[in-house]
Amino acid sequence: MTKYRSALMKLCLVAVITALPAFLEHPALAADPDSVTVFAAASTTNALTEIGSLFGQKGMGKIVTSFASSSTLAKQIEKGAPADVFISADQEWMNYLADRKLVDKATRFNLAGNRLVLIAPADSTAKIKITPGFELAKLLGEGRLATGDPDHVPVGKYAKAALQKLGVWTDVEGKLARAADVRAALALVERGEVPFGIVYSTDAAISKKVKVVAEFPQDTYPPVVYPAAVVSGRDSATSKRFVEFLKSPDSKKVFERYGFAVP
C-alpha cells in the first residue's frame, strides 16, 4: 500500500468516526432541553467551536457539535440523526433537506462566505499563477491534488467547477486525492502526502504547515455560501436562540477573525 493511500485511509476512518451522530457521542447532552446539537460543515470547526463556547458562557445553553462533510451530515439528518441545527458549506445540501421538508425554511439564512485557494506544504517553493489553461497537471508530476470528493463534498464541487472553467479539469481529474471533507484534504497537504491541495482560505489560515500559493479567481466557481437552519421538529427555544446568536455581532466577529465573509 502506498504512503498516500495509507494516509488517506486513516483520514477517511477519522472522518467517519467524527461524523457519527452527536447523540452517540453525547447521549446526555442530546437529551438535555437546554442543549443544541449542531451539525456543521468541517470548515466551520474552529469558528463554531468558539461561538459555541461563547453561547455557553453567556448562559444561553449548551452546544454539542458534530463536524463533517455537509453531504455526510445531511444524509445523517435524513436518516433521523437528532440534529437541531444544520450548517452547510453549500446551498445544494441545504436544499436537499429543504426539498424533503427536513429543515424549517423560515429559519434559513446565509451565515457566511468563503474563498477557494491552492495550497502546498509550508516549505514548498512553488510559484503559481492561476490562469486559463495553467499547467497544474505538469506541476503535480507524479503527485496528487487533494480536495474534497467532487461527487458530494462541497469544496470538491467548487474545485471541480473552478478547474473546469479554467480548462484543466480533464488534465487533473485522474490525479485527485478525493478526501472525505476539507479538513482531511488539508491534512494530506500538511503531512506532505501530496504536493498541492484545494481548500477554503479559512482552512489554510488555521494551519502553519501549509502555504497559499494562489487564490482562485472568484468568477471561476459559484459563490461559497454557508446556509444555516433549524432542523424540522427540533425548533426548541434553545435552538432558535442559537440560530439568532449566529446572527449577532459577537458571532460575526468570530467568523471574521477566522477569515470568513459575513453578511
The CATH number given to whatever domain includes residue 164 is 3.40.190.10
Contact present, 76 and 39 (Cβ < 8 Å) = yes
Are 139 and 235 in the same domain?
A: no
pLDDT, position 18: 43
Same-domain check for residues 79 and 129: no
Same domain, yes or no: 34 and 126: no
177, β-bridge pairs:
146
**In a shared domain, residues 124 and 201:** yes
Sign of the alpha-carbon dihedral angle for 99, 101, 102, 105: positive
Q: What is the largest CA-CA distance in the chain?
A: 55
β-strand partners of 118: 198, 214
CB 161, CB 214: distance < 8 Å: no
Residue 11 lies in a domain: no
pTM metric for this prediction: 0.88
Question: Do 235 and 198 sit in the same domain of this protein?
Answer: no
Model pLDDT, residue 255? 98
Instruction: Flag whether 100 is in a domain.
Output: yes
Residue 62 pairs with which residues in a beta bridge? 35
pLDDT tens series, the chain, 263 aa: 455 555 555 454 444 444 444 444 444 334 566 899 999 999 999 999 999 999 999 999 999 999 999 999 999 999 999 999 999 999 999 999 999 999 999 999 999 999 999 999 999 999 999 999 999 999 999 999 999 999 999 999 999 999 999 999 999 999 999 999 999 999 999 999 999 999 999 999 999 999 999 999 999 999 999 999 999 999 999 999 999 999 999 999 999 999 999 98
Structural domain boundaries enclosing 210: 114-220
Domains identified in the chain, total number: 2
Q: Is 118 part of any domain?
A: yes
**Shortest CA distance to 245 belongs to which of 40, 43, 63?**
63
Neighbour tally for 111: CB within 10 Å? 25
